[in-house]
Amino acid sequence: MKLHIDQSYISILQEQSAIQDKIIKDKAVTVSNPVLELNFLIIRIIEYIRNNFIQSLYRIGANGFVTNTIDKHLDGLLKSITSIETLENSRYYCAEVEIFIRAYRHLIQSYIDSCDERHFWESGPNLPCIHNGDECIPPEIVRKGVLINRLVSKLDELIYNEPYKQIRRNRADKSEHQYKRSIKLVTRLRETNSKLLVLRIDFSLKGQEFNATSLEEIREYLSKLLKRFHFDTALPEIVGYIWKLEFGEQKGYHYHCIFFLDGNKYQKDAYYADQIGQVWQKITEEKGIYFNCHRDKFKYRHLAIGMARHDDQEFFDNLDQVLIYICKQDQFLIEKSLNGEDVRTFQTSVIPKEAKPLGRPRNKPTQLDTDDDNPQTDSSSEIDA
């Protein structure tokens, strides 16, 4: 099974992006991190080459000069690189960055001095380059465009090598497992509740340093929040939840959370989403940020939020696409200190027992403890974009 976002639901993707942009603009206090930004730039380069089957960037004439740029977008991405050397000393691990560094070391590094690296990337394709170990007189000159073509060709080769393909398969398997668990939970909740109130809230922290401490901190805060649903009267009773941990270029570590309430008991979705968000802020001692898209529900009307009757197929079709979107997000980056650890990036509440086949769906209590079915595939050693 391959997760596929139905393009007829493109508004869902647009609204998801709008939410993230609004959080960053209105809420988040971002911390500039050039190394992190460079990691994400390399990820975009690798993904662009892979998705567009690019094997070379420039057309080279008989005299060794570049005569034409084949893909201007990729050219612009590569010219935005500042220093691969800083990535080698980065505290982040990323498979895409690893293969880029490997190709760079093999094909380009010996042609440029580290102090001139930024000039190399920013320059035009006909920049003359000389191999540092070349003792010929006069030295052989190679144009930058030739070196970049070799780099792109090597990246295309590494992308289709088995080790990297296995990494991508592991990510796909993890996403599929997450999606199946999500759908199983939603299906059971739909069977056991005549109406569901669906809340969508995103949680993050102000001014993160994007390190292991901030990851542990936000994980601890979410754990405290989920436990409080058992006893805190300031919170509504929930019959189920789904959360996904992500790592973003602008927001750092953050959670996408979907909470399910009994629609016969609760109707005011924006109010209860704010209640949960305010408890998040209290738990985090005002360091926490939350986004309640229910306050602008018309703007985000395709995100499957609010009240849903069990037979509202359009609502649950939209929710299905939201779940695909959330589960499909590839998780690329993790700090090297955490690489290899069992870092959980996804979880659902316990899935209720199967409803009786006869009669109208009935409201039944649902356990809120986590369901650790197949925990190995729920966890990930790479955290995303």
Full set of structural domains in the chain with CATH: 7-30+175-380 (3.30.70.1130), 34-160 (no CATH)
Are the C-beta atoms of 316 and 190 separated by less than 8 Å? yes
Please say if the pLDDT value at position 380 is more than 50: no
If DSSP codes are grouped into helix, strand and coil, which group holds residue 228? helix
Q: What pLDDT is attached to residue 1? A: 59
Phi and psi at 146, nearest 5°, equal: -65, -45
**Which comes out higher in pLDDT, residue 32 or 239?**
239
Share of the chain above pLDDT 70, in %: 74
Please say if the pLDDT value at position 84 is more than 60: yes
- pLDDT, mean of residues 38-59: 94
Please say if the pLDDT value at position 118 is more than 60: yes
Cα separation, 109 vs 151, in Å, equals: 11
Nearest to 300 by CA among 182, 226, 203, 202: 202
- pLDDT, mean of residues 306-334: 85
Concatenating the DSSP letter of every residue in 70-96 gives S-HHHHHHHHT---HHHHHT-SEE-HH
Helix or strand (DSSP H, E) at 201: strand 195-205
Residues β-bridged to residue 154: none
**Mean of the per-residue pLDDT values for the chain?**
82
Q: What pLDDT is attached to residue 343? A: 74
**Which comes out higher in pLDDT, residue 206 or 124?**
124
- pLDDT, mean of residues 30-49: 83
- pLDDT band of 385, cuts 50, 70, 90: very low
- pLDDT, mean of residues 68-88: 93
Are the C-beta atoms of 15 and 303 separated by less than 8 Å? yes
Cα separation, 114 vs 146, in Å, equals: 19
Helix or strand (DSSP H, E) at 348: strand 346-348
Cα separation, 43 vs 205, in Å, equals: 24
- pLDDT, mean of residues 66-95: 90
Please say if the pLDDT value at position 134 is more than 80: no
- pLDDT, mean of residues 159-170: 92
Q: Is the pTM of this model over 0.85?
A: no
Q: What pLDDT is attached to residue 260? A: 97
- pLDDT, mean of residues 308-323: 92
**Which comes out higher in pLDDT, residue 131 or 311?**
311
